[in-house]
Amino acid sequence: MTLLRIEALDVFHGASQVLRGLDLAVAGGEILCLMGRNGAGKTSLMRAIMGTLPRRAGRVLLDGTDISALPAHLVPRYGIAHVPQGRRLFAELTVAENLEIGEMVRHAGQRDFALSLFPVLGDRLGQQAGTLSGGEQTMLAIARAICAGPRVMLLDEPTEGLMPSAIATIRSALIRLRAEGVAVLLVEQRAEAVLAMADRVAFIAQGRILAETPAEALRADRALIRRYVGLG
């Protein structure tokens, strides 16, 4: 069942249009990977869904409810959580305080679940977030989003610059979220990561979805990735 549906979304950065009538849908229990070159509109799409980048036209529907007109701070309360590019942790707050910020959104009582996915964070609850390693910071960013009790999770390049062991932990967590019925929209540049966990892949260029394909097709023919985005 489709949880997140984006219809004919137009978004501008000043005078420049970054999303052009973009359509996309993600179902519960599905990982949809969004691939595209730098500047294609991936991050803008995520910010537009969260309402922090103003939408000029189009709609964002969550489980059939139009949330396009909501103020940005109310969007997460409907069950959309965002792990932004670069993690954007509250670096001077502790790990526990970062998780508490996530819990304030819907009081979903997800902290234990989040810590079960990333046990290393449980040992670092009193530590300042900014002093964690890169991999741990990404885990905290995802755990913080999980604490918000999401039905839809947006992740913007979460594995960028991480060690293989951290990537494996994050991949396991996302697969577990999928099993819990969460709709995952994942921006990812690394083909290996995409092929390892995606159910479907959408290719974006110049603010439009060029093509959507089952990940199975890409696993069978990896040349498709090169054809659409030149990534390999």
Task: Provide the binding-site residues for other proteins, judged by CB under 8 A.
Answer: 50-52, 71-74, 76-77, 81-82, 84, 88, 90-93, 97, 100-102, 104-106, 144, 148
Buried-exposed string 151-173: b where 16+ CB fall within 10 A, e elsewhere: bbbbbbbbbbebeeebbebbbeb
Shortest distance (Å) from residue 101 CB to other proteins? 5
Nearer to other proteins, 101 or 231 (CB): 101
* Contact of 41 with 60, CB cutoff 8 Å: no
Closer CB to other proteins, 12 or 90, in the complex: 90
Rounded CA gap, 81 and 169, in Å? 19
Strand order in the sheet with 152-156: 80-83, 152-156, 183-187, 31-35, 200-205, 208-214
| Pairing verdict, β 31-35 and 183-187 | parallel
Q: Is 32 helix (H, G, I), strand (E, B) or coil?
A: strand
Nearer to other proteins (CB atom), residue 146 or residue 191? 146
Please count the helices (runs of H) and the strands (runs of E) in the chain: 9, 10
Which residues lie closer than 8 Å to 185 by C-beta, 6 or more apart?
Answer: 4, 24, 26, 32, 34, 46, 49, 152, 153, 154, 155
In the complex, least distance from residue 191 CB atom to other proteins, rounded to whole angstroms = 28
Work out how close the CB of 148 gets to other proteins at its nearest, in angstroms, rounded to a whole number. 6
Other CB atoms within a 10 A radius of the CB of residue 39 amount to 12
Give the nearer residue to other proteins in terms of CB position, either 69 or 217. 69
Nearer to other proteins, 81 or 121 (CB): 81
Compute the least distance from the CB of residue 195 to other proteins, in Å. 29
Least distance in angstroms from the C-beta of 145 to other proteins = 9
Instruction: Supply the minimum distance, in Å, between the C-beta of residue 82 and other proteins.
Output: 5
